[in-house]
Amino acid sequence: MKPEDILKGNIRAAARLMRDIDDEIPSTRDILKHLFQRTGHAHIVGVTGSPGTGKSTLIDCLIQRLRENRKTVGVVAVDPTSPFSGGAILGDRVRMQRHTVDDGVFIRSVATRGHLGGVSRSTHDIVTVMDSMGKDVIIVETVGVGQDGVEIIHLVHTNIVVIIPGMGDGIQAIKAGILETGDIFVVNKADMADADIALFEMETTIQMKRFQKGVWVPPVLKTDSLNNIGIKKLLDKIDRHRKHLETSSGEKQQQKRAIEMFKEILRDRLFQRTKDRLKGTQRWEETLNSLKQREVDPYSAAESVVDDILKNTS
């Protein structure tokens, strides 16, 4: 496939490239290098929260509203990985199936492949592809919340944290550190009992934190995505946060995102090169056997391998 096909918004070419990215085909790197130069125009929105909070239904409503506003939309649904196939197991496309016939919407499920932090390596690359296609808004739905989902803030511009009544999320927010990751907090399933209590708890939690002048203070909203209630107000807050970034820290955030992508790619490439270099060698097999027999701990084994590599490259 040619980068020009992606830049023209060719869906088939983009789908093939995303599949190759998921399969870690080396030839995708040169295409991504070319595409990256044409990115930075989409507004990237993260949607994260505990399982069962209704994230996918909420996203489905957001897509509908955005399309009514003539915005093109990309969705990256990061699913847990099947331990047997290595593929995504939730298949979030099923929940948003009505949008798959719309050329203005591109939905892609991505497996975490055991990656901790809620965002897999390929997620960054697939967002790059969608951005280069000219999508106006890219929504990234991630698994988990709190410390397991902090990497999302390095990928998106606006992060929405979804909670529901009765889960004690407001109190746990301080412990889990999600106040540091959320730009907008949503109490979904607002038709449930205690929705107002959850809203009050979350607002109180945010008010306990001191914000410097000019810093964005995360709003807390109620939504009922099953009945399409509160979605317009949520979109208004997303747009307001986008404008806030444009007038304050938008450029810095783009720079930070590029740096975090560099770090992530560097970690990935170093690990892959190390594994390719050592796999099948006597040293590799001896290390694995020592670990199996508990003759060495994983920390010492990793440090020893890194030390040997650095000695050989110095």
Q: What is the pLDDT of residues 106-127, one digit of tens each?
A: 999 887 655 555 577 788 899 9
Q: Which pair of tokens denotes residue 12?
A: 């088939």
What architecture is the 3-248 domain classified under in CATH?
A: 3-Layer(aba) Sandwich (3.40)
Q: In this structure, are residues 45 and 63 in contact, taking their beta carbons and an 8 Å threshold?
A: no
Token pair 């391998």: residue: 305
Domain ranges of the chain: 3-248, 262-313
Neighbours of 126 (CB within 10 A): 24
**Distance in angstroms (rounded) separating the CA atoms of residues 124 and 259:** 12
pTM of the full structure: 0.82
The helix (run of H) or strand (run of E) holding residue 85 is none
Neighbours of 175 (CB within 10 A): 9
Q: What is the pLDDT of residues 47-62, one digit of tens each?
A: 998 888 889 899 999 9
At residue 273, the pLDDT reads 83
Query: Which alpha helices (DSSP H) does 137-228 contain, by range?
Result: 169-176, 195-207
Neighbours of 7 (CB within 10 A): 16
At residue 115, the pLDDT reads 52
pLDDT beneath 50, residues of the chain: 81-93, 147-148
300-308, long-range: CB < 8 A, 24+ apart: 305/274, 305/278, 308/283
Nearest C-alpha neighbor of 152 from the set 183, 181, 179, 131: 181
